[in-house]
Amino acid sequence: MRNGRLQIIPLGGLGEIGKNCMAVRCGNDIVVIDCGLMFPEEELLGIDVVIPDVSYLVENRQMVRAIVLTHGHEDHIGALPYVLPQLNVPVYGTRLTLGLLEGKLEEQLPGFKADLRVVKPRDVVECGCFKVEFIRVSHSIPDAVAVALHTPLGVVLHTGDFKVDHTPVDGELIDFHRLAQLGERGVLVLLSDSTNAEHTGYTMSERVVGETFDEVFRRSRGRVIIATFATNIHRVQQAILVAQRYGRKVAVAGRSMVNVVSIAHKLGYLNLPQGVMVELEEANRLPRHQVAILTTGSQGEPMSALTRMATGEFKQLEIIPGDTIIISAVPIPGNEKLVARVVDQLFKRGAMVLYEAVSAVHVSGHPCQEELKLMINLTRPRYFIPVHGEYRMLIRHAELARELGLRPENIFVAENGQIIEITPKGGRFAGRVSAGRVLVDGLGVGDVGNIVLRDRKQLAQDGILIVVVALSQETGQVVAGPDVISRGFVYVREAEALMEEVKAQVRAILDRCIERKSLEWATIKSEVRETLSRFLYERTRRRPMILPIIMGV
């Protein structure tokens, strides 16, 4: 590619919430911003996680100078254990971000040597023709940064995830001054977080949650149990300090909470005052009003500590009347019913439950419309690309930019894989690279495709009916069977008569075939499939998968 040409190539995070990944190319240098995963939608049956298709990067690996990370959330770093083995380039990030990544890599790729390079806000590193600068922002995890790519054509500013918190828990403000400086000198392209672009107003400060915690602790006579994302270390910090204020000891439950608290403490992001933290066993021996518990499961995840407490399966801690439980999160779209079920189960155990619908127990980590406007006005970009959001959110964010006076032809609402090319003459869509989703199921990365998913869907809906018959290879006569086995279709004991009818249908088909001497197995199978499919739909209005198996003996 000629110099004087800049390409911005989203590989994930546009038209969706998750698997954020953005490539920026200038000449023969590529820098990648973030490489996250996404949790599968309901219809991706059996899939564990979804990662971006990075074949464009792998094919151009000799140009990829670095992966730079904005913060340590799964949707920004979670694909790296799958991607780094194919693309082991330097990874830049702040200390906490790389600390969390290191933990992931140790767990998922023991022994793998990644080239992790710690940076601080306002640091600048050189990656090919790019100077990459890190700029502090507020978010629901500490040590989050925006990334400014200084390129020969101008500055490309990617906000990462951010919010404007004027009273941050750790005192570290979003770096308004550097953003303003860049804006004053001229930003070429702004890529900005669209997650909350549908919401008017502004996002409340994280401190609001601390005030709610204070109020709850002040009034509670029993234990207080707080479920939140482990990586929301500011919130964890506030909970611990409030607990201490009211003379409570804090115990931690749930694997990721234990892990993250330990990493954040080790790296100095979490202040654990002496004598406050206790083991769960000790907490169980203390008077109820002296106990607070921090735990995972704020999304109603079936295997999480809170969900198991709600169902009575968490052995180390039993929910009892008098407990107050704070679910300090908002359900991620798709998790509403899971969270609601956990709330109901906790209520049934006699606990008081405070959750997002009824109490100020959560604030977002993303910017609402007024903050988005501030970011645009502060940085005054020539080109604008809304990122991190489903399509309607990108559209809304683009509208906001137009309302602030950006020229419509300089605003690009793009899809993953679309190349946005910027030259001194202007910007335009300039083709596509391959992009999309790669499904991870167990150890298989990308081996579950549409056929497997289609089969799983049919199996999930109406089960399977298997017909087995042994035919003589010499005479074509039936030697054994037909046997009929079903799973997930009907409860067999209640449907014996139906199964007998199925067998009779198969026998009739076999007789006809033998009579006609048409003993092509493929023909027999397709006739069995069609006949049974029609017959079973008529009798049950269900469409199980029908699998005829012929053994030649």
Q: 551's torsion region: left (phi>0), alpha (psi -120 to 50) or beta? A: beta
Q: Smaller CB distance to its own copies: residue 320 or 460?
A: 460
The question of whether 366 is a catalytic residue gets the answer yes
User: Which one of the listed residues 150, 158, 234, 366 is annotated catalytic?
Assistant: 366
d(CA 96, CA 84): 19
Of 280 and 332, the one with the shorter C-beta distance to its own copies is 332
Closest CB to its own copies among residues 272, 478: 478
Question: Is 480 a residue that touches its own copies (CB under 8 A)?
Answer: yes
Which residues does the annotation place in the binding site for Ca(2+)? 46, 48, 441
CA 323 to chain centre: 31
Confirm if 345 and 339 have CB atoms less than 8 A apart. Answer: no
Out of 114, 462, 505, 524, name the contact with its own copies by CB under 8 A: 462
- Cα–Cα distance between 335 and 350 in angstroms, integer? 23
Decide whether 215 or 390 has the Cβ nearer to its own copies: 390
Quick check: 452 binds its own copies (CB under 8 A)? yes
CB of 236 to its own copies, least distance (A): 25
Q: Which residue from 27, 11, 31 is spatially nearest to 19, judged by alpha carbons? A: 11
Query: Phi, psi (5° rounding) for residue 326?
Result: -110, 120
396 binds its own copies (CB under 8 A): yes
Q: Does 501 bind its own copies (CB under 8 A)?
A: no
Q: Select which of 34, 175, 193, 323 is catalytic.
A: 193
First vs last Cα of the chain: how many Å apart?
Answer: 63
* Residues annotated within a binding site for Zn(2+): 71, 73, 75-76, 139, 161, 388
Distance CA(224)–CA(119), nearest Å, equals: 38
For 481, 500, 506, 536, the CA distances from 531, given in Å and listed in that order, are 18, 15, 8, 9
User: Does residue number 405 form part of the binding site for its own copies (CB under 8 A)?
Assistant: no
Q: Residue 264, exposed/middle/buried by CB under 10 A (0-12, 13-18, 19+)? A: buried
CB of 159 to its own copies, least distance (A): 22
User: Is the Cβ–Cβ distance between 401 and 376 less than 8 Å?
Assistant: yes
- Closest to its own copies by CB, 174 or 401: 401
Residues 406, 412, 416, CA angle at the centre, nearest 5°?
Answer: 155
| Of positions 460, 475, 504, 508, contacts its own copies by CB under 8 A | 460
421 phi-psi bin (left φ>0, alpha ψ -120 to 50, beta other): beta
- Nearer to its own copies by C-beta: 215 or 483? 483
Q: Does 357 bind its own copies (CB under 8 A)?
A: yes
Question: Which of these ranges, 54-62, 222-230, 479-487, 507-515, lies near its own copies under the rule CB under 8 A?
Answer: 479-487
Binding residue for its own copies, selected from 457, 507, 525, 529, defined by CB under 8 A: 457
By CB under 8 A, is residue 107 in contact with its own copies? Answer: no
- Does position 62 bind its own copies by CB under 8 A? no
Those residues with Cβ within 8 angstroms of residue 185's Cβ, 6 or more apart along the chain or in another chain = 155
Determine how many CB atoms are found less than 10 A away from the CB of residue 222.
16
Residue span binding its own copies (CB under 8 A) among the ranges 61-69, 256-264, 481-489, 523-531: 481-489
Q: Which SS3 state, helix, strand or coil, does residue 281 take?
A: helix
Would you count residue 449 as binding its own copies (CB under 8 A)?
yes
The yes-or-no answer on residue 193 being catalytic is yes
* Choice between 42 and 520, CB closer to its own copies: 42
Residues 511-530 within binding reach of its own copies (CB under 8 A): none
222 binds its own copies (CB under 8 A): no
466 binds its own copies (CB under 8 A): yes
CA–CA distance, 151 with 6 (Å, rounded to integer): 8
Longest CA–CA span in the chain (Å) reads 89
Q: Which stretch binds its own copies (CB under 8 A): 81-89, 426-434, 483-491, 521-529?
A: 483-491
Which residues are part of a known binding site? 46, 48, 71, 73, 75-76, 139, 161, 230-232, 362-366, 388, 441
Closest approach, Cβ 540 to its own copies, in A, equals 5
Among 360, 464, 514, 519, binds its own copies (CB under 8 A): 464
SS3 call for 541 = coil
Of the listed pieces 204-212, 242-250, 279-287, 387-395, which binds its own copies according to CB under 8 A?
387-395
- Residue span 308-337 as binding mask against its own copies, x where in contact by CB under 8 A, dash where not: -------------------------xx-xx
What residues from 23 to 42 belong to the interface with its own copies (CB under 8 A)?
41-42
Cα-flanking dihedrals φ and ψ of residue 548, to 5°?
-85, 135
What residues have CB less than 8 Å from 335, skipping those under 6 apart? 299, 300
- Give the CA radius of gyration of the chain: 29
- Order of all β-strands in the sheet with 6-12: 116-118, 91-93, 64-68, 29-33, 21-26, 6-12, 418-423, 426-432
Place of tokens 């009003």: 289
Residue 1 sits in the site that holds its own copies (CB under 8 A): no
Peptide bond preceding 321 in cis form (omega within 30 of 0): no
Q: What are phi and psi of 382, to 5 degrees?
A: -75, -45
- The residue from 5, 45, 170, 525 that contacts its own copies (CB under 8 A) is 45
Instruction: For its own copies, give the closer residue by CB, 494 or 520.
Output: 494
Partners of 227 in the β-ladder:
295, 327
Q: Which CB atom, from 374 or from 464, has the smaller least distance to its own copies?
A: 464
Burial call 175-196: b when 16+ CB within 10 Å, e when fewer: beebbeebbeeebbbbbbbbbb
- Least separation in angstroms between residue 544's CB and its own copies is 9
Site string for its own copies, 256-275 (x = CB under 8 A): --------------------
Rounded Cα–Cα distance for residues 154 and 185 (Å): 10
The residues of the shown chain that bind its own copies, judged by CB under 8 A, are 15, 41-42, 45-46, 198, 333-334, 336-337, 340, 343-344, 347-348, 353, 357-358, 390-392, 395-396, 441-444, 447-449, 451-453, 455-457, 459-464, 466, 468, 470, 479-481, 483, 485, 487-491, 494-495, 539-542, 545, 547, 549, 551-553
Residues annotated as catalytic are 193, 366
